[in-house]
Homo-oligomer: A and B are copies of this chain.
Amino acid sequence: MALAYALLSSLLVDGSQSGYDVVKCFDEQISCYWRATHQQVYKELREMEKKGWTCSETIAQTQRPNKTVYSITDLGRQELTAWVLQPSQPTAIREELMAKLKSGFLVPPTALIAELARRQQIHQAGLNALKAMEATDFPTVFTAGAKSLSYEARLYHLALRRGIRYESEWVEWCEEAIQAIGDYQQ
């Protein structure tokens, strides 16, 4: 369900787009809070068109495959607004690594430490990417503060901040866990 609305918001904020563009936008920007494959995106855009939430236009291109460019309709905008107004539940957490930790005594501590270090690197890389996004998309934040942003930009910046906090928290926890397990070696 929520994917449909995430797509609508992309069409609304970033303008009319082809499925391909939306996927790219998801990979680049939206990935800090939502993920979708191209198969899902194309399917959902077609289904929303049936419901009248989007409309499409085919753009003929030479030297490139033709595009189907989707736009949000008034009905789509209404649906999106109604959805935004609804309360949202926290996402159910599903963290494989924590499940592995519970049975972690089955394997050598060094194996756990290696895995935690690997995860720490992944989250550090994610953090760096998000910080780079912040520097690119919101440069004024660093000089004039977040209050310099427009309301719309500020809202999006808050989502980015959530991503940054999330990845930072992961990096810190990995550090804590590596230290802790180190205490039990020899």
Contact = CB atoms under 8 A, between A and B. Distances in A.
Interface residues on A, range: 35 or more
Contacts of A162: 95, 98, 173
Contacts of A144: none
A173 B157 CA distance: 12
A21 interface: no
A95 B161 contact: no
Contacts of A96: 2, 88-89, 91
Contacts of A97: 88
Contact of A161 (B10, B146, B161, B173): B173
10 contacts: A2-B96, A32-B93, A32-B98, A33-B98, A87-B118, A90-B122, A98-B163, A105-B155, A161-B177, A162-B173
Given A13-B102, A93-B166, A147-B183, 18 more contacts: A2-B94, A8-B103, A33-B99, A34-B98, A34-B99, A81-B103, A83-B100, A84-B107, A89-B96, A90-B122, A91-B94, A95-B162, A101-B158, A104-B155, A109-B151, A112-B155, A151-B184, A154-B183
Interface of A: 2, 5-6, 8-10, 12-13, 30-35, 77, 80-81, 83-85, 87-107, 109, 111-112, 115, 118-119, 122-123, 126, 146-147, 151-152, 154-156, 158-159, 161-163, 165-166, 169-170, 172-173, 176-177, 180-181, 183-184
